[in-house]
Amino acid sequence: MSEATPSRWDDYLDVFASPSRLFERRSDGKFGHAMLVFIIAAVVLYFATRTAMQPIMDAEFERGMAANPNLTPEQMEAGRKFAGIAGGIFVVVGTPILMLLLGGVIWIAAKVVGKSLDYAQSATIATFAMFPRLVDSVVSAVQALLMDESSLNSRYKVSLGIGRFLNPDNGVLLALVGRLDVFTIWVTVLIAIGIKVMTKATAGQAVAAAALVWLVGSLPMLLQALRAG
């Protein structure tokens, strides 16, 4: 008896259990269903974990406002209200934009190491590689609930990496090493697997391309930290 054809829902098991098989199956570049599922899950988790993560969001807001001492209390309060509204909007609107941009970076990284992907394949890798971030949201919220609220002064304090041990005011250092955490590395490994499977790259080429993607992902935070001084 032949094996049953895997369904779309098998993709969401294989992204954690058998990513090589997933990327081989999804080399057709069909990522729309997965992106929709991710966005829905991200929105649900955002609102479900918002209370637990509120101290961290407040601390990050205060740190950002401190960089502009000319703001009046009224302006700060307006900014706080806007940030509360914008967070939910960003999850809905910003998430697919970021995934599509990540697809572009993956496409370029594959070119750099001498391999070729079409954009749909790159976006497929980007979409499925982001699924560990859903687990990250849950793990971070659970930690936030269990930790002393006074210690929740940075989003890195609930990361599973080097950043949780660093001074949250050292933005440049955090931008450089804060992405050395379990979930960011997991995402990067999935990108490497996707590139290797879809382009038939060597392990070295796939790792080099994924490392380049990781490095590019660090640049926005580094530039922001340098601008803040």
Q: Is residue 1 part of a domain?
A: no
Of 39, 42, 221, 31, the C-alpha closest to 126 is 31
Q: Would the pLDDT of 66 be above 80? A: no
The 10s digit of each residue's pLDDT in 134-167 is: 999 999 999 999 999 888 988 899 999 999 998 8
The reply to whether 2 falls in a domain is no
Identify the pLDDT of residue 106.
98
Yes or no: say if 124 and 9 are a contact pair by the CB < 8 Å rule. Answer: no
As a whole number of angstroms, the distance between CA 170 and CA 139 comes to 24
Q: Could you tell me if 117 and 205 are in contact, meaning their C-beta atoms sit under 8 angstroms apart? A: no
**Does position 115 have pLDDT exceeding 50, yes or no?**
yes
Report the predicted TM-score, pTM, of the whole model to 2 decimal places.
Answer: 0.89
Residue 119 falls inside a structural domain: yes
Is 179 part of any domain?
A: yes
Distance CA 168, CA 210 (A): 27
Q: What is the mean pLDDT of the chain?
A: 89
Q: Does 134 fall in a domain?
A: yes
169-179 pLDDT, tens digit per residue, is 887 888 888 89
Number of domains in the chain: 1
What pLDDT is attached to residue 201? 96
Crossing angle (nearest 10°) for helices 182-199 and 119-129: 150
Kindly state whether residue 3 falls inside one of the protein's structural domains: no
Evaluate if residue 54 carries a pLDDT over 70.
yes
Mean pLDDT of 16-43: 95
Q: Considering the domain boundaries, does residue 214 fall inside one?
A: yes
Query: Does the pLDDT at position 3 exceed 60?
Result: no
Each residue of 77-105: b (16+ CB within 10 Å) or e? eebeeebeeeeeeebeeebbeebbebbeb
Residue 194 belongs to a domain: yes
Judge residue 121's burial from the number of C-beta atoms within 10 Å of its C-beta, 0-12 exposed, 13-18 middle, 19 or more buried.
buried
For 153, the domain range is 8-228
Question: Measured between alpha carbons, how far is residue 4 from residues 11, 28, 53 in Å?
Answer: 14, 19, 42
Share of the chain above pLDDT 70, in %: 91
- Can you tell me whether residue 161 is helix, strand or coil? strand
Show Cβ contacts of residue 99 under 8 Å, excluding neighbours closer than 6 positions.
Answer: 35, 38, 123, 126, 127, 130
